[in-house]
């Protein structure tokens, strides 16, 4: 089918100095579902629209199937896009909406009807083919938007936050259906979301953007276990990683309050080569535990989720209070006001003052 490549692609909106997307390099192999994730305004939509041809590429190039499409208009790129608000044609029935692209290609009516029918069957839209979009529920509209994309059998699917207008439960359900559909069709897909959970659960690989700059592209597991910088570390994972500023004291390693942090060999080695100074240490809540020894603190909040719980504990660190989130079992007996001890089993992530990861 198709592979997609961004090469130093930048977009600078007229009237602004700062690029909305800066020098993006990304290689997306055939059949992959790549998720672009980042906070609002980080340039995800812009990057996607550059690939769609809806936004100019001011510098660099974009390739589909190693063909340079930087200057190709959207109608000649053979891509299908699902918009955040679905952008269905309001005056057309569901059937006409889904068949619109085929009609533009001059596909004969019987074949068009057949392909629409097939897509409608996959998406459970058969009873609604003669309705107008305004007479559909949000979830049904979302499926019509999907149907409009899959009917075309395009080279690439582009999706810009397609689930953000659904309620939470439907979003989770549709998320898996969508991932499954993509895997079955095997069409290269670029999927934009601001929701890191969606990114982690759906993406074969996830690209994290911040201020128009690509931070890291990796498989979800790697992104979680080896964030390359402070931003990715804080952005990926829910609840977020505990990030603590720690002054290193030369040979002594790093301490969280009175607790010596277990660093892996490589990190300890790299850290020893650096000057003493202020580093940021990251520990995920599941790598801390309530124990019989460790740093003492007082519980402020217990978030009980049933299968697990997150305990917020205030400890003393470098002369001030510090809030740590610790994962505990579900139905924990711990309550607000309890005095607890926290120990750390690692891994521990260490970031230099400039935010870069230290160690492997």
Ligand X SMILES: Nc1ncnc2c1ncn2[C@@H]1O[C@H](COP(=O)(O)OP(=O)(O)O)[C@@H](O)[C@H]1O
Q: Which residues bind ligand X (CB under 6 A)?
A: 13, 16, 20, 38, 40-46
**Which partner in ligand X, Mg ion, other proteins, none is near 135 (CB below 5 to 8 A by kind)?**
none
Residue 241 beta carbon to other proteins: minimum distance, rounded to whole angstroms: 36
Shorter beta-carbon distance to other proteins: residue 146 or 313: 146
Closest CA to 305 of 224, 239, 237: 239
Residue 152 beta carbon to other proteins: minimum distance, rounded to whole angstroms: 8
Shorter beta-carbon distance to other proteins: residue 90 or 110: 90
The answer to whether the beta carbons of residues 290 and 334 sit under 8 Å apart is yes
Question: Binding pattern to other proteins, positions 46-65, x when CB under 8 A?
Answer: ------xxx-----------
Taking contact as CB under 5 A, which single stretch among the options 20-28, 38-46, 57-65, 274-282 is the one that binds Mg ion? Answer: 38-46
Largest separation between any pair of C-alpha atoms in the chain: 77
> 3-class DSSP state for residue 328?
strand
**Which partner in other proteins, ligand X, Mg ion, none is near 43 (CB below 5 to 8 A by kind)?**
ligand X
73 binds other proteins (CB under 8 A): yes
Count of residues that bind other proteins according to CB under 8 A? 26
**Which partner in other proteins, Mg ion, ligand X, none is near 104 (CB below 5 to 8 A by kind)?**
other proteins
**Binding test (CB under 8 A) with other proteins, winner from 8, 25, 85, 318:** 85
DSSP conformation letters of 231-269: HHHHHSSSSPPEEEEEE--GGG--EETTEEP---HHHHH
Q: Which DSSP helix (H) or strand (E) runs through 344?
A: strand 339-344
**Which partner in other proteins, Mg ion, ligand X, none is near 13 (CB below 5 to 8 A by kind)?**
ligand X
CB atoms within 10 A of CB 69: 20
The answer to whether the beta carbons of residues 50 and 9 sit under 8 Å apart is yes
Contacts with 214 (C-beta within 8 Å, 6 or more apart), sequence order: 24, 25, 26, 207, 208
**Binding test (CB under 5 A) with Mg ion, winner from 45, 155, 196, 216:** 45
Closest CA to 214 of 238, 231, 197, 189: 231
d(CA 327, CA 233): 17
Residue 159 beta carbon to Mg ion: minimum distance, rounded to whole angstroms: 11
The answer to whether the beta carbons of residues 358 and 352 sit under 8 Å apart is yes
Shorter beta-carbon distance to ligand X: residue 202 or 344: 202
Question: Binding pattern to other proteins, positions 97-136, x when CB under 8 A?
Answer: ---xx--xx-------------------------------
The answer to whether the beta carbons of residues 312 and 297 sit under 8 Å apart is no
d(CA 94, CA 113): 12
74 binds other proteins (CB under 8 A): yes
User: Which residues here bind other proteins, judged by CB under 8 A?
Assistant: 52-54, 73-77, 79-81, 83-85, 87-92, 100-101, 104-105, 148, 152
């Amino acid at each position: 089918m198709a592979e997609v490549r961004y090469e130093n692609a930048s977009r600078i909106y007229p009237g602004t100095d700062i690029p909305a997307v800066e020098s993006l390099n990304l290689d997306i192999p055939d059949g992959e579902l790549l998720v672009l994730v980042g906070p609002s305004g980080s340039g995800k939509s812009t990057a996607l629209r550059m690939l769609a041809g809806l936004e100019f590429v001011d510098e660099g190039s974009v390739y589909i199937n190693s063909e340079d499409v930087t200057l190709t208009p959207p109608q000649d790129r053979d891509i299908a896009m699902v918009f955040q608000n679905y952008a269905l044609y309001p005056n057309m029935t569901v059937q006409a909406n889904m068949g619109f692209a085929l009609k533009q290609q001059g596909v004969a009516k019987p074949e068009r009807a057949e392909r629409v029918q097939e897509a409608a069957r996959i998406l459970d839209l058969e009873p609604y083919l003669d309705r107008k979009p305004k007479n559909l529920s949000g979830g049904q509209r979302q499926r019509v938007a999907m149907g409009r994309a899959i009917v075309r059998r395009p080279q690439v699917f582009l999706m810009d936050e397609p689930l953000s207008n659904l309620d939470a439960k439907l979003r989770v359900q549709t998320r898996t259906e969508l991932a499954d559909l993509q895997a079955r069709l095997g069409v290269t897909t670029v999927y934009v979301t601001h929701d890191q959970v969606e990114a982690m659960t759906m993406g074969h690989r996830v690209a994290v953007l911040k201020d128009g700059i690509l931070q890291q592209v990796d498989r979800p597991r790697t992104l979680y276990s080896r964030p390359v910088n402070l931003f990715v570390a804080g952005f990926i994972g829910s609840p977020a990683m505990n990030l603590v500023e720690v002054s290193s004291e030369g040979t002594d390693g790093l301490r969280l309050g009175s607790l010596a942090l277990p660093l892996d060999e490589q990190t300890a080695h790299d850290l020893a080569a650096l000057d003493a100074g202020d580093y940021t240490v990251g520990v995920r809540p599941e790598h801390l535990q309530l124990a019989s020894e460790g740093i003492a603190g007082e519980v402020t909040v217990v978030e009980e989720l049933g299968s697990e719980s997150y305990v917020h504990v205030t400890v003393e660190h470098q002369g001030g209070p510090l809030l740590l989130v610790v994962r505990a079992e579900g139905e924990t007996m711990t309550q607000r006001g309890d005095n607890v001890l926290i120990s750390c089993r690692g891994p521990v992530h260490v970031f230099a003052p400039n935010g870069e990861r230290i160690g492997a």
